[in-house]
């Protein structure tokens, strides 16, 4: 007998879903939470796609993909009760991720977190921050030198700065965040090495989830405006392929290479969508927002290229032309 695992994703891609205008994140959040509740038993990618298919603009597709990637990386975010909003706090201006200053120091019966991060979602008061920090007294580098701790965004000693104005995704602002003597219990530590087990594989997860949600957003536009059927079919196939990549171990070289190929296909479809916006009977606003926001997808392109070059090397193959190797090549 052929035992098949139920997969709600293909049907979800064909569903007729409402996409009401959401100009602000406060208007979008109830729709996102409703999608999370409706798909609480689904995997994070499927739930993220369900939300993104209801997005009326790129900001909410990006938001859905980012939150989905965090849920996949940190399962505790959706383990009990409603899904919690989160933000990964890793980057520090002018520093490599493996050379950060934010530090955890043991003090009495707990730990204290001090430092500053350059990127956190702004305007969302109930965020749970996943903070990358150096462990004082630990190894200077390598395994055990960095950890991830869970910190309430509104907790004592946490100061999220004012939202920065931005040209891309202005509906979804970000800010700096500072930590001053924030008390950290051992239960707030996330098991595993902060960089190797969490931050590094998160970058691949984020690429897969954001690309999938971008395609889901475009697919809704395509269904509404009658974009060509061949494009819609390829779009659905690419989303399902991205889904399969999220089920693979993100630290394996083979996963990184397969994902790079699928991400390249997704990138081609995203590029092909540009002229299709002319079919929108509502006029220019949606197309103008798309042209404004599409550059967000190019951020981190060099890091993705380096990741793929390293994956080929780990697999025992040298890239004939490293300059042309990458997820978008």
Spatial neighbors of 324 by CB under 8 A, at least 6 apart, are: none
pLDDT given for residue 4 in this prediction: 59
Domains of the chain in start order, with CATH, are 86-192 (2.40.110.10)
Do residues 234 and 11 make contact, with C-beta atoms less than 8 angstroms apart? no
> How many Å from the N-terminal Cα to the C-terminal Cα in the chain?
42
Q: What are phi and psi of 112, to 5 degrees?
A: -125, 135
Angle at which helices 44-52 and 58-73 pack, to 10 degrees? Answer: 170
Q: What stretch of H or E contains 246?
A: helix 229-246
The pLDDT of residue 77: 95
The alpha carbon of 242 is separated from its chain's Cα centroid by a whole number of angstroms, namely 13
Predicted local distance difference test score (pLDDT) of residue 329: 46
> Could you please report the per-residue DSSP string of 147-187?
EEEEEETTSTTEEE-PPPP-SSSTTS-EEEEEEEEEEE-GG
Distance CA 246, CA 249 (A): 8
Distance CA 97, CA 195 (A): 8
Give the residue among 40, 85, 41 at the shortest CA–CA distance from 63. 85
Strand 158-160 to 128-135 pairing? unpaired
Q: Six-digit token pair at 302?
A: 């060099």
Burial (0-12, 13-18, 19+ Cβ within 10 Å), 279:
middle
Reference 300, options 211, 176, 173, 197; nearest CA is 211
Report the distance separating Cα 248 and Cα 259, nearest Å.
9
d(CA 317, CA 309): 9
Enter the tokens of residue 1. 């007998």
- The tens-digit pLDDT sequence of the chain (329 residues) is 455 556 789 999 999 999 999 999 999 999 999 999 999 999 999 999 999 999 999 999 999 999 999 999 999 999 877 899 999 999 999 899 889 999 999 998 999 999 999 999 998 878 999 999 999 988 888 888 999 999 999 999 999 999 998 999 999 999 999 999 999 999 999 999 999 999 999 999 999 999 999 999 999 999 999 999 999 999 999 999 999 999 999 999 999 999 999 999 999 999 999 999 988 776 678 899 999 999 999 887 888 888 888 888 888 887 555 555 554 44
Contact present, 78 and 35 (Cβ < 8 Å): no
Pull the structure tokens for residue 146: 């960095």
- Classified as helix, coil or strand, 282 is coil
pTM: 0.93
pLDDT at 80: 77
């Amino acid at each position: 007998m052929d035992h098949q695992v139920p997969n709600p994703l293909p049907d979800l891609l064909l569903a007729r879903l409402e996409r009401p205008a959401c100009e602000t994140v406060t208007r979008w959040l109830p729709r996102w939470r409703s999608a999370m509740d409706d798909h609480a038993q689904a995997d994070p990618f499927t739930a993220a796609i369900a939300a993104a298919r209801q997005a009326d603009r790129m900001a909410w597709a990006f938001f859905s993909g980012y939150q989905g990637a965090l849920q996949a990386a940190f399962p505790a975010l959706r383990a009990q009760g409603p899904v919690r909003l989160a933000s990964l706090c890793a980057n520090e201006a002018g520093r490599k991720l493996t050379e950060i200053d934010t530090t955890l120091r043991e003090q009495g019966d707990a730990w204290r977190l001090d430092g500053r991060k350059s990127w956190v979602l702004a305007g969302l008061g109930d965020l749970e921050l996943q903070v990358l920090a150096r462990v004082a007294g630990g190894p200077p580098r390598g395994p055990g030198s960095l950890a991830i701790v869970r910190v309430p965004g509104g907790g004592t000693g946490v100061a999220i700065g004012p939202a920065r104005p931005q040209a891309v995704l202005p509906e979804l602002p970000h800010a700096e965040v500072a930590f001053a003597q924030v008390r950290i219990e051992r239960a707030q530590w996330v098991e595993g090495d902060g960089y190797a087990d969490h931050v590094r594989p998160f970058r691949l997860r984020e690429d897969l989830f954001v690309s999938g949600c971008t395609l889901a957003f475009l697919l809704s536009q395509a269904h509404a405006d009658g974009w060509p059927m061949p494009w819609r079919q390829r779009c659905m196939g690419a989303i399902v392929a991205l889904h399969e990549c999220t089920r693979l171990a993100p630290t394996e070289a083979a996963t990184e290479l397969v994902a790079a190929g699928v991400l390249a296909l997704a990138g081609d479809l995203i590029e092909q969508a540009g002229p299709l916006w002319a079919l929108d009977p509502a006029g220019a606003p949606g197309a103008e927002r798309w042209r404004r926001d599409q550059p967000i997808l190019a951020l981190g392109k060099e890091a993705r290229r380096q990741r793929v070059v390293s994956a080929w090397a780990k697999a025992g193959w040298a890239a004939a032309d490293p300059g042309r190797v990458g997820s978008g090549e």
